[in-house]
């Protein structure tokens, strides 16, 4: 269990850090301004010619401006970490933190764009700020709005990705590929239970089941059963028409038509993936699964089941979202490299091929996986390079690279 004293100390130190520096980001010039000639080249009149070139060829913004290496981290503050709907202002510290991760791991300049109380014009607002950025990372937006916003922004000519969805799904796929190597399972034979049907659960299910993905680049697991707070999602469940995305899951998963609770879903499963709430998976549920099950309990800070309890109940491989246990399943393994590769390719969007390539690149960074080591460390800087190279190549092969 986490030590409350240690957590309180981290809170105190974090408050002092943020107060001392007034946040975690600053903007610095890349060019000197020592004299009038420097100003004439960096600003007027020299900059006029740069503007004229971009007017003639809009893609030259990637050559002459910060667009080539800058993304926006966009949120409305409606689903921030475990804090819920705290609004855009209170979300700034989290978005600043995400921005420094982009800088440290991928050399990307990222800037928080935090909206407050967005309504129906949120998509238009994001669309209107897009010209200055080479990509947009949607962050901490509650479901189902996160799906709607991402879908509506796919035509703006730059990559737009909701990291809580796709970053999580990519890392889960990578972890699952290596967990299969450890347990001797075939990926395509897996019977999986996904606990949680929000942003992460929806996208994990879509990627592992290849829902909406090109079958030529996506390998589908045998079956997935998705559970939410009401139990198993199935075609005959009342009220699904009110939620388009759960309706999609009901149509594309659970072919056997199972009904009942999470406990019912887990009987005979090979894998359970938790992106839901603390403490909702019991040891008896683990014991009801197939021999040597794979357990990813990713609720944070308290997982669906603690790793030692899962292992004691028979789990062969256990992963969590925490850094103090083996097999941390963390988006930091994915999003810096995905956006680095997308920016390097001046990509118009993030394709199926790019996401799948990222997952395989992450898995490939662990040469000899074992039950306590199925993913590389989030501090391993070589992961970002491997993911970026794979994503840039996939952007080329999938027709998303912009020729500059």
The DSSP output letter for 370 is B
Cα separation, 281 vs 274, whole angstroms = 9
**Pick the catalytic residue: 11, 24, 30, 43?**
43
Lateral strand order in the sheet of 109-114: 109-114, 70-75, 135-138, 160-162
Active site residue 385: no
Residue 147's CB is within 10 A of a number of other CB atoms, namely 18
Residue with tokens 């401006």: 65
- Quote the longest CA-to-CA distance of the chain: 75
Rounded to the nearest 5°, which phi and psi values hold at 70?
-130, 135
Rounded to the nearest 5°, which phi and psi values hold at 369?
-65, 150
CB 329 within 8 Å of CB 172: yes
* Bond preceding residue 144 cis, omega within 30 of 0: yes
Total length of the chain? 404
Alpha helices for 46-198 (secondary structure H)? 47-56, 61-64, 87-106, 122-129, 145-152, 163-183
Residue 108's CB is within 10 A of a number of other CB atoms, namely 23
**Pick the catalytic residue: 11, 24, 30, 98?**
98
Give the count of alpha carbons within 13 A of 228, CB side only. 18
Active site residue 246: no
DSSP 346-398: T-SS--HHHHHHHHHHHHHT-SS-BTTBSS--TT-HHHHHHHHHHHHHHHHHT
- Token reading at 376: 């590389």
Give the count of alpha carbons within 13 A of 344, CB side only. 21
Cα separation, 209 vs 273, whole angstroms = 14
CB 286 within 8 Å of CB 293: yes
CB 293 within 8 Å of CB 315: yes
Cα separation, 356 vs 362, whole angstroms = 10
Residue 395's CB is within 10 A of a number of other CB atoms, namely 26
Cα separation, 38 vs 331, whole angstroms = 41
Active site residues: 43, 98
């Amino acid at each position: 269990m986490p030590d409350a004293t240690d957590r309180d100390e981290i809170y105190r130190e974090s408050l002092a850090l943020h107060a001392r520096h007034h946040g975690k980001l600053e903007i610095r010039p890349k060019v000197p301004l020592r004299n009038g000639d420097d100003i004439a080249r960096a600003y007027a009149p020299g900059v006029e010619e740069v503007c004229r070139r971009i007017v003639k060829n809009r893609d030259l913004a990637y050559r002459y401006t910060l667009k080539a290496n800058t993304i926006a981290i966009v949120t409305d503050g409606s689903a921030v970490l475990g804090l819920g709907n705290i609004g855009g202002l209170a979300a700034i510290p989290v978005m600043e933190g995400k921005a420094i991760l982009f800088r440290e791991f991928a050399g990307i300049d990222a800037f928080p764009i935090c909206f407050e109380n967005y309504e129906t014009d949120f998509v238009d607002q994001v669309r209107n700020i897009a010209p200055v950025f080479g990509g947009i990372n949607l962050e901490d937006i509650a479901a189902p709005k996160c799906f709607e916003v991402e879908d509506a922004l796919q035509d703006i000519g730059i990559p737009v990705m909701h990291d809580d969805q796709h970053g999580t799904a990519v890392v889960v796929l990578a972890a699952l590929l290596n967990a299969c190597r450890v347990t001797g399972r075939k990926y395509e034979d897996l019977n999986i239970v996904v606990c949680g049907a929000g942003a992460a659960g929806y996208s994990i299910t879509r990627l592992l089941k290849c829902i909406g993905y090109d079958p030529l680049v996506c390998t589908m697991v045998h079956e997935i059963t998705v559970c939410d707070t009401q139990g198993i999602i199935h075609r005959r469940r009342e009220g699904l028409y009110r939620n388009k995305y759960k309706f999609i899951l009901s149509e594309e998963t659970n072919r056997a038509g199972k009904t009942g609770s999470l406990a019912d879903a887990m009987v005979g499963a090979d894998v359970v993936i938790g992106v839901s709430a603390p403490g909702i998976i019991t040891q008896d549920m683990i014991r009801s699964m197939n021999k040597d099950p794979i357990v990813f309990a990713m609720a944070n800070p308290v997982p669906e089941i603690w790793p030692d309890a899962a292992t004691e109940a028979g789990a062969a491989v256990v992963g969590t979202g925490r850094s103090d246990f083996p097999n941390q399943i963390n988006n930091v393994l994915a999003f810096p490299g995905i956006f680095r590769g997308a920016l390097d390719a001046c990509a118009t969007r993030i394709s199926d091929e790019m996401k799948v390539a990222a997952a395989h690149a992450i898995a490939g960074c662990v040469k000899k996986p074992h039950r306590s080591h199925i993913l590389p460390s989030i501090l391993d800087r070589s992961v970002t390079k491997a993911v970026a190279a794979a994503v840039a190549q996939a952007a080329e092969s999938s027709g998303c690279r912009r020729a500059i």
